[in-house]
Amino acid sequence: MADLSTCELSLHGNRVSYRCGGQGPVLVLIHGITSSSASWEPVLPELAEHFTILAPDLLGHGQSDKPAGDYSLGSHACIVRDLMLALGHERATIVGHSLGGGIGMQVAYQFPELVNRLVLVSSGGLGREVSVFLRAVTLPGSELVLPLIASRPVLDAGAAISRALGRVGLQAGSDLAEIARGIASLNELGARRAFVHTARAVIDTGGQRIDARDRLYLAEAVPSLVVWGGIDPIIPARHGRRAHELMPGSRLELFDHAGHFPHLDEPLRFVRVLRGFVATTEPADVRPEDARALMLARAA
């Protein structure tokens, strides 16, 4: 079995933690909001047998630093780029889950020369709808409520958490376990502050305010895979279906009985689908003239 390590690197004065190892084509795994590279644990050992893994903890998340700074999609995309280049990875297949999907699309848009393929897993940035919990974070004063939600007595009351999350559509299983783990991370002031800034950068009280659908036609230049859980309570599966329609040449894999974390609900299938996608597609080689031709054709 391939070895995986947790390492650290200082980028622009901030400590970035990441998991790395394995062998083969480079795979960059970008987690979602309040999560960390740990959210990929069930699929990492098998993926590392076939790929060189780079799974960062985004700034403000996991073991990485939590500075008072920019938590926009563009800023996260720059950190992903800088980490890749600092470690000598000039190109990679980018896999993004939830918020990480939005970041992955931003990487592909800002730095297309880095992206061999793009994989969106229950991705944000593809429609307005999002869970009530995330919309509530954008309300004034949410910073004062989060410490109470993330307090140890509340976290220890598993039944209470289950009832509360159930009211916003989350069911027991991977969704509940991962959201509860994410809430637990908010017990730290820096993580809480980063969470609020990150959420408000992409969401308002009406839902997601960052929408990449007007640029999805550019995916024609990059092999793309959309993976979604059929019963996702956070971001509805119809976002994935619509994205697939708008991304020329893309593939769609619906995990009918999975929630917001299909890679946790069905890890073996997820690995099989990802391996098959990489094995049957040629890496992109996007040049400025290619993007220019697509944009001009769209404008015509």
**Residues in contact with 103: Cβ distance below 8 Å, sequence separation at least 6, in sequence order:** 30, 58, 73, 76, 77, 80, 96
Alpha helices per DSSP H over the chain: 44-48, 73-86, 99-110, 132-136, 142-149, 152-156, 158-166, 174-185, 189-202, 237-246, 262-265, 267-279, 288-299
14 shares its domain with 151: no
Res 172 pLDDT > 50: no
38 shares its domain with 143: no
Give me the catalytic one of 17, 36, 64, 98: 98
20 shares its domain with 121: yes
248 shares its domain with 137: no
Note if 61 is an active site residue: no
Per-residue pLDDT, 154: 43
107 shares its domain with 198: no
**Domain end marker among 160, 181, 204:** 204
Instruction: Give the count of domains, the chain.
Output: 2
Q: What percent of the chain has pLDDT over 90?
A: 60
Q: What is the per-residue pLDDT across 139-156, written as a single tens digit (0 to 9) for each?
A: 775 554 555 455 445 445
Give me the catalytic one of 57, 65, 175, 232: 232
Note if 64 is an active site residue: no
**Domain end marker among 204, 235, 250:** 204
Note if 175 is an active site residue: no
**Domain end marker among 166, 189, 204:** 204
Residue at 120: amino acid letter? L
253 shares its domain with 192: no
88 shares its domain with 148: no
114 shares its domain with 139: no
288 shares its domain with 145: no
**Residues in contact with 299: Cβ distance below 8 Å, sequence separation at least 6, in sequence order:** none
Enclosing domain of residue 149: 132-204
Q: What is the per-residue pLDDT across 6-50, written as a single tens digit (0 to 9) for each?
A: 999 999 999 999 999 999 999 999 999 989 999 999 999 999 999
Give me the catalytic one of 31, 97, 244, 260: 260
Mean pLDDT comparison of 71-85, 163-177, 216-230, 275-289, highest-scoring range: 71-85
81 shares its domain with 221: yes
106 shares its domain with 228: yes
Question: Do the beta carbons of residue 26 and residue 69 sit within 8 Å?
Answer: no
The DSSP element (H or E) to which 187 belongs, if any, is none
53 shares its domain with 114: yes
